[in-house]
Amino acid sequence: MTGLPRDAGPALAPVRSALADDAGIEARRITLAAGEEAGRILDRARRRAADTVRQAREEGAEAGRAEAALRSARARREAGAVVLAEQERLRSALREELLAQAAALRSDPRYPPLLQALRRRAEALLGPEAEISEAAEGGLHARAGTRTLDLSLPALVRQELAADPVEVSRLWAA
């Protein structure tokens, strides 16, 4: 499969614009919910860690202090695992939402111009003899000899998510 060259930005501008328009509200909702949920998770984890430390201190002896350190470390690891699992859940939810919105583009009036832009991009990358077909999930697939190009809407969404992981990580930093 052939990756898109760096100058693919202008050809993908309609895709980016459509995804940004359609996903903006949902991304803000997900960001807010993620921030609230992450706060609740961190609060619960901190309470658990504090309870573990308090209980261990009550035991009093050196063994108690050693146990407290062990429990505290375990609680921090567990809290970290919970936060990471929630981040992955949010990342998956965002990916699914963006894929659904990309699929909805097929009935949008912006879709035909988007297909034309993708067709021009495929021809620019693979040449005018490229065999270009519409992808069942939207967008295009192109082939020229052994070279292939996946310009399907799901592939473009995945490519955008992978291209800017910092933007995605802002969901739980808010």
**Residue ranges of domains in the chain:** 6-173
Q: Order across the sheet with 131-134: list the strands.
A: 131-134, 139-144, 147-152
pTM of the predicted model over 0.85: no
Q: Residue 149 — φ and ψ, nearest 5°? A: -140, 125
Of the given ranges (59-68, 81-90, 107-116, 119-128), which has the lowest mean pLDDT? Answer: 59-68
Per-residue pLDDT at 18: 64
Residue 114 tokens, joined? 């988007």
Pairing of strands 139-144, 131-134: antiparallel
Distances (CA, A) of 129 to 115, 124, 135, 170: 17, 10, 18, 42
Residue 71 tokens, joined? 């429990």
The length of the chain, given as a count of residues: 174
Cβ(135)–Cβ(119) under 8 Å? Answer: no
Per-residue pLDDT at 25: 64
Which residues lie below 8 Å from residue 107, measured CB to CB, with a gap of 6+?
Answer: none
User: What are the pLDDT digits (tens) for 1-53?
Assistant: 566 666 766 766 676 666 666 666 666 666 676 677 777 777 877 888 788 87
Place of tokens 């992808």: 135
Q: How far does CA 143 lie from the centroid of its chain?
A: 28
What is the number of alpha carbons within 13 Å of residue 109 lying toward its C-beta? 0
User: What are the pLDDT digits (tens) for 115-166?
Assistant: 999 999 999 999 999 999 999 999 999 999 999 999 999 999 999 888 877 7
